[in-house]
A and B are shown apart, each in its own frame.
Chain A
């Protein structure tokens, strides 16, 4: 009850263009089942926060389709719940978290609320953040703004401050020459005081395709999944009614995360396969990320490939990327043998 949340889904990462042609960073698929915003939304509800404003950037159809009225996160409430708060400026292109001009367009969302403190979080950080605990740390410190960081110093770009201070910054940011909450914290702007909250656990900050690839793949290493998928803090997402995945005779799967509704006849090693993907016989995948509803033809050979949603790869296609430079197939792309010769 003390805390309300802002999810900044507007920040654009220039390194993620391959995956954000038709969507914002917030709705990039992750780990075979989720969208990046699921981690922020789940952190919010797992921290017992009932009021959350999502500030999206264009194009947000995919994001809106995903979160809807917030039912999957139990945020379809009569009192409080989820608010979708798009800005009037079509080309938001904010580069830092918590831009005051963006928040200021929905000042009434903050004025009308009863909560005293605000957590501002983002959609490019994958971690299990406990905002209740962070608030306690913040209040004990007596400082104005608390930022979540990792033990190694990585900035997680989630902030807690009082609503009063946030409203004051929304009023005066132009004369104070600051852009966003992230900006205020980075510049250690006087007269404010700053504190940090140290988070321990799985962390990925997704700011480039290469980084996305490495972070997603790291979940296949021993001991990593257990740090992100906690029994008492589930990651919630929009559910689809897919049947269990079918592993056909002759298929081979090892060290792989696999969503529901897939049909697997080929071989899959060290890969992440989203829901409803079909992998036909003789196909061999290693170090790949295949997103939902993609089709991998017979006897394909794919190494270090990211195939976005609805990609179709014809029989016999061979694609070999590297860890440093995975091959990215964009949403809906079709690849034939002729294309790669």
Chain B
């Protein structure tokens, strides 16, 4: 098919700075926004951009992701041709091959791309929250006659040291790529979204694979090598909300951004819906004594307590006299009577005891765990 695009979605990351949230699931599977998982954003972007062939590369703790994505039904990816394909590391005659770097993960699934035979390959990360029309980016890529187009976002100058920075000329041609520079010349950060002409990508993946000293990473190896060889590389400036939720704090912030009308992240836009699996639960019930202010609440919840500036996932029960402020409460959580919580992330399924309060909490964001609760219960029993 002419103009065919295949998206390769990198979803193998662990996200170790998210602590207990990623002990059993990969980072892209982390719940977000009262209903979603992070990976819903790139998958929904694909669906809304009419990209119907998506390879999802998994490695770390993949079973929740595999089960969740399944045949890709929520994103209309259950298709006769194309659709979603889960790509995990595999064994072959030469032995077992773990994915070693982002570029290596794509290299090892070359046969999938050869079989799909696209004209363009869209590389995506499963870790980012943003809404983006990839077709518009592809139009730009074609207009510019580029070999590779890299989506960039302007970041505050003080944060440039945390990103891969693109130095461009005034026509947005990329001249240099600097990973986490101390003194940045530009504040255009790579979003980890690339469009490659497939034949060029194929060539450079093979070249990179032959280089034993390479760490097989797009940012560190493929992009610099292509620049060295004067391939046409352009930056596609993206304007809008984009967040890499790599830490407990940034996950909390991203959830709070949903309550801030000026943040630019709007889930209530029917023109660019985020699709997700929809559990079959009754509507939320707010009880006689329940109060909910400035919050998002999902289906199946029964709220008898007080909620302020919080994001409440499905099937959460908040008992009378409990109070939550600036909290992210994931699915199936029960909050006992009189519990008082502020600036807390509560992972799925936890049961918060009656009158629970976090001892010695200052301003920091706390990620609750079963162990913390058990210790508290032990203390209470004394």
Residues of chain A touching chain B, judged by Cβ–Cβ distance below 8 Å, are 31-33, 72, 225, 229, 234-237, 239-241, 243-261, 263, 272-273
Q: Assess whether B208 is interfacial by the CB under 8 Å rule.
A: no
Can you give 11 contacting A-B residue pairs, CB < 8 Å? A236-B280, A241-B276, A243-B296, A244-B34, A244-B312, A245-B284, A247-B292, A253-B292, A254-B287, A257-B282, A263-B268
Tell me the nearest residue of chain B to A257, going by C-beta.
B283
Q: Are A243 and B33 in touch, CB under 8 angstroms?
A: yes
How near does chain B come to A317, taking the closest CB pair, in angstroms? 24
Q: Interface digits, B283-327 against A, CB 8 Å rule (1 contact, 0 not)?
A: 111111111111111110000000100011100000000000000
Q: Assess whether B274 is interfacial by the CB under 8 Å rule.
A: yes
Q: Are A244 and B297 in touch, CB under 8 angstroms?
A: yes
Known pairs A241-B273, A243-B267, A251-B293; A235 contacts B286 (CB<8 A) = no
Q: Assess whether B207 is interfacial by the CB under 8 Å rule.
A: no
Interface of B is mostly: loop
Q: Assess whether B281 is interfacial by the CB under 8 Å rule.
A: yes
Q: A235-B280, A243-B34, A243-B35 are in contact. List 4 more A-B contacts (CB 8 A).
A: A229-B282, A244-B312, A254-B290, A255-B288
Instruction: Identify the interface centre among A256, A259, A261: most chain B CB within 10 Å of its CB.
Output: A256
Q: Assess whether B91 is interfacial by the CB under 8 Å rule.
A: no
Point out the residue from B286, B288, B298 that lies within 8 Å of A244, measured CB to CB: B298
Q: Assess whether B196 is interfacial by the CB under 8 Å rule.
A: no
Q: Are A235 and B282 in touch, CB under 8 angstroms?
A: yes
Q: Are B284 and A248 in touch, CB under 8 angstroms?
A: no
Interface of A is mostly: loop
Q: How far is the CA of A245 from the CA of B301 in the complex (A)?
A: 11
Tell me the nearest residue of chain A to B284, going by C-beta.
A258
Point out the residue from B33, B276, B283, B287 that lies within 8 Å of A259, measured CB to CB: B283
Instruction: Identify the interface centre among B74, B273, B299, B313: most chain A CB within 10 Å of its CB.
Output: B299
Instruction: Identify the interface centre among B287, B289, B313: most chain A CB within 10 Å of its CB.
Output: B287
Q: Are A247 and B293 in touch, CB under 8 angstroms?
A: yes
How near does chain B come to A262, taking the closest CB pair, in angstroms? 9
Instruction: Please name all residues of chain A whose beta carbon is closer than 8 Å to the beta carbon of B267 when the two chains form the complex.
Output: 243-244
Instruction: Please name all residues of chain B whose beta carbon is closer than 8 Å to the beta carbon of A263 when the two chains form the complex.
Output: 268
Point out the residue from A234, A248, A255 that lies within 8 Å of B286, measured CB to CB: A255
Q: Are B33 and A260 in touch, CB under 8 angstroms?
A: no
Tell me the nearest residue of chain B to A270, going by C-beta.
B288
Q: Assess whether B278 is interfacial by the CB under 8 Å rule.
A: yes
Instruction: Please name all residues of chain A whose beta carbon is closer than 8 Å to the beta carbon of B307 when the two chains form the complex.
Output: 247
